[in-house]
């Protein structure tokens, strides 16, 4: 999978990873893929809700060690 | 009641409160129940799901509180939120400060305790700073400022700060009946509003959070309003509510309890009495920690930059000063107070929400600047 942009949100607490992703997504083109790496466990729920509400496609969410990785396609 | 019996009853009250607070901590951790998160979800993505959790919890607590009033189990005029002197300016200013602070500090008082249980050392620092700021606002330097400014402005209403008491006085209907009718209308309305949303209903987690946290508050009202009540304390020969620092009936709150916990730990030799505040702080941390370990979600977390540290410390200061000034936090004024239909609590909640929005705006600005 080609990742067009990646955000390092390690160490940031809710709602900062989401706010950061929202800003980057606003500048991305439709169909482009964003990857966010966070360490806040609440980001799993936040990003899934955000993708559903905003119409972005959540391609992948996984927990690897202490990190939570979210991959979504811009609407 | 003999002094020995009082000590036994007080011990039972505190153990029961501790057990309920452990459940609160585990539930909040399990369901991601978070007031700041609820406001942030609306601000950032227009999602009202977590606000519906909050609304349902308040609704359940309100119905439970006034059901016990209606059955004559508790006296609504004896709560910590009931006062004929409505400090509306303190409630709005304190609420604004608290709401602003909780965004910078990654969550309100209860969330801070839940996060400590998850392994967050950031939240441990927030706890110490918030506790000190609250202590200063209760009886120190910041208290002088509070007493000589915002606390001077008040609205005196003889019937007290609860809306049902006003209506009861105006229409000459019993307070119990008026309260129960209002709780069914307002509290029931909140529960229906929450459940009316399909997305909310589709997740058992959301319903568990709303109903569970609401029932926790009802349990606390029963423990501290009914079980802890002594008609004549042998020391004072007056009615008393055992286990509370205020001597009045209360449910859950987390700002002044943080200060009281620090006081209890530091000045233990001065025979500091163990009170609800102290056991609630330890209970919530333990509940969250137990669930975190059980779900393999426990992980150590520290500050990642100087700005991160500074924002958390500033947020904690705002929460400590604001929480005491407003008369409570998101759980104190926000849920316990609202469940009594206190107008002061309603004002404080509006302040907390407006303050949180300003905090979120600041965070957005900081991100854009970076």
Q: Which of B336, B347, B323 is nearest to B76 (CA)?
A: B336
A63 and chain B in contact, CB less than 8 A: no
Nearest beta carbon to residue B304 from set A10, A42, A53:
A10
Q: How far is B308 from chain A (nearest CA, A)?
A: 8
Q: Mean pLDDT for chain B?
A: 95
Residue B304: its chain A contacts at CB < 8 A? Answer: 10-12
CB atoms inside a 10 Å sphere around CB A31: 10
**CB of B3 closer than 8 Å to CB of B234:** yes
What's the ipTM?
Answer: 0.92
Just list the catalytic residues of A. Answer: 14
**CB of B105 closer than 8 Å to CB of B362:** no
Cis ω for the linkage preceding B43 (within 30 of 0): no
Residue A24: its chain B contacts at CB < 8 A? Answer: none
Rounded Cα gap, residues B39 and A51, in angstroms: 18
B122 and chain A in contact, CB less than 8 A: yes
| Mean pLDDT in residue range B263-268 | 90
Rounded Cα gap, residues B134 and B107, in angstroms: 16
Residue A15: its chain B contacts at CB < 8 A? Answer: 37, 40-41, 43-44, 360, 363
Contact B37 A14 (CB under 8 A): yes
Rounded Cα gap, residues B46 and B281, in angstroms: 32
The burial class, CB within 10 Å (0-12 / 13-18 / 19+), for B368 is exposed
What does the pLDDT look like over B13-39, one tens digit per residue? 999 999 999 999 999 999 999 999 999
| Residue B47 clears pLDDT 70, i.e. is over it | yes
Tell me the Cα Rg of chain A: 11
- What dihedral angle (degrees, nearest 10) is formed by the CA atoms of B239, B240, B241, B244? 160
Provide the H-helix boundaries in chain A: 16-27, 43-54
For residue A65, give the chain B residue with the closest CA. B299
**pLDDT value at residue B152:** 97
| Mean pLDDT in residue range B268-278 | 82
- 3-class DSSP assignment, residue B342: strand
Q: What angle do CA B63, B291, B301 make, to 5 degrees?
A: 115
A68 and chain B in contact, CB less than 8 A: no
B47 and chain A in contact, CB less than 8 A: yes
What does the pLDDT look like over B151-183, one tens digit per residue? 999 999 888 889 999 998 888 888 889 999 999
| Mean pLDDT in residue range B30-51 | 96
For the whole prediction, is pTM greater than 0.90? yes
Q: How confident is the model at residue B271 (pLDDT cuts 50, 70, 90)?
A: low
Distances (CA, A) of B364 to A17, A20, A21: 11, 8, 11
What does the pLDDT look like over B247-264, one tens digit per residue? 899 999 999 999 999 999
B49 and chain A in contact, CB less than 8 A: yes
Q: How confident is the model at residue B269 (pLDDT cuts 50, 70, 90)?
A: confident
Q: How far is B160 from chain A (nearest CA, A)?
A: 38
For the record, the structure tokens of B63 come out as: 């119905």
Q: What angle do CA B246, B106, A34 make, to 5 degrees?
A: 160
Rounded Cα gap, residues B181 and B347, in angstroms: 22
Contact B47 A18 (CB under 8 A): no
| Residue A37 clears pLDDT 90, i.e. is over it | yes
What does the pLDDT look like over B302-340, one tens digit per residue? 999 999 999 999 999 999 999 999 999 999 999 999 999
B360 and chain A in contact, CB less than 8 A: yes
A14 and chain B in contact, CB less than 8 A: yes
B368 and chain A in contact, CB less than 8 A: yes
| Mean pLDDT in residue range A42-71 | 94
Q: Which of A49, A28, A41, A32 is nearest to A69 (CA)?
A: A41
Contact A11 B106 (CB under 8 A): no
* Mutation target vs B (from A9, A16, A39, A44; most B CBs, 10 A cutoff): A16
The burial class, CB within 10 Å (0-12 / 13-18 / 19+), for B7 is exposed
| Mean pLDDT in residue range B175-194 | 96
Q: How far is B336 from chain A (nearest CA, A)?
A: 25
B169 versus B54: the higher-pLDDT residue is: B54
**pLDDT value at residue B231:** 92
The burial class, CB within 10 Å (0-12 / 13-18 / 19+), for B170 is exposed
Instruction: Give the distance from CA B28 to its chain's centroid.
Output: 13
Nearest beta carbon to residue B368 from set A13, A16, A23:
A23
Q: What angle do CA B282, B287, B290 make, to 5 degrees?
A: 120
Nearest beta carbon to residue A20 from set B297, B308, B367:
B367
| Residue B356 clears pLDDT 80, i.e. is over it | yes
Length of chain B: 370
Rounded Cα gap, residues B142 and B149, in angstroms: 11
């Amino acid at each position: 999978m080609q990742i067009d942009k990646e955000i390092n949100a390690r160490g940031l607490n809710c709602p900062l990873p989401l706010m950061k992703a929202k800003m980057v997504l606003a500048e991305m083109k439709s169909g482009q893929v964003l990857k966010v790496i966070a360490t806040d466990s609440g980001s799993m729920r936040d990003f899934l809700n955000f993708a559903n509400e905003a119409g972005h496609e959540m391609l992948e969410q996984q927990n690897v060690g202490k990190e939570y990785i979210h991959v979504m396609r811009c609407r | 009641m003999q002094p020995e019996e009082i000590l036994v009853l007080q011990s039972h009250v505190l153990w029961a409160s501790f057990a309920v607070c452990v459940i609160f901590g585990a539930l909040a951790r399990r369901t991601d129940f978070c007031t700041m998160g609820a406001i942030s979800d609306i601000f950032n993505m227009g999602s009202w799901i977590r606000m519906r959790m909050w609304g349902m919890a308040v609704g359940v607590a309100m119905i439970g509180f006034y059901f016990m009033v209606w059955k004559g189990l508790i006296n609504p005029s004896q709560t910590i939120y009931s006062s004929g002197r409505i400090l509306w300016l303190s409630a709005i200013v304190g609420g604004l400060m608290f709401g602003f602070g909780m965004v910078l500090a990654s969550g309100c008082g209860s969330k801070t305790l839940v996060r400590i249980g998850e392994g967050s050392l950031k939240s441990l620092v927030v706890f110490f700073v918030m506790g000190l700021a609250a202590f200063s606002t209760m009886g120190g330097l910041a208290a002088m400022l509070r007493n000589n400014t915002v606390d001077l402005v008040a609205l005196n209403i003889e019937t007290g700060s609860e809306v049902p008491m006003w209506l009861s006085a105006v229409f000459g209907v019993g307070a119990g009946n008026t309260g129960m009718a209002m709780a069914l209308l307002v509290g029931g309305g909140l529960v229906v509003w929450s459940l009316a949303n399909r997305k909310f209903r589709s997740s058992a987690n959301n319903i568990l959070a709303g109903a569970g946290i609401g029932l926790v508050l009802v349990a606390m009202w029963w423990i501290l309003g009914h079980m802890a009540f002594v008609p004549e304390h042998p020391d004072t020969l007056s009615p008393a509510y055992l286990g509370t620092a205020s001597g009045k009936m209360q449910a859950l709150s987390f700002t002044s309890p943080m200060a009281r916990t620090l006081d209890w730990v530091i000045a233990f030799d001065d025979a500091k009495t163990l009170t609800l505040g102290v056991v609630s702080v330890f209970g919530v941390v333990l509940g969250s920690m137990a669930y975190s370990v059980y779900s393999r979600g426990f992980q150590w977390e520290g500050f990642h930059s100087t700005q991160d540290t500074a924002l958390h410390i500033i947020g904690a200061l705002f929460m400590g000063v604001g929480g005491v000034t407003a008369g409570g936090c998101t759980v104190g004024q926000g849920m316990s107070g609202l469940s009594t239909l206190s107008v002061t609590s309603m004002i404080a909640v509006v302040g907390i929400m407006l303050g949180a929005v300003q905090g979120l705006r600041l965070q957005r600005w900081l991100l854009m600047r970076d």
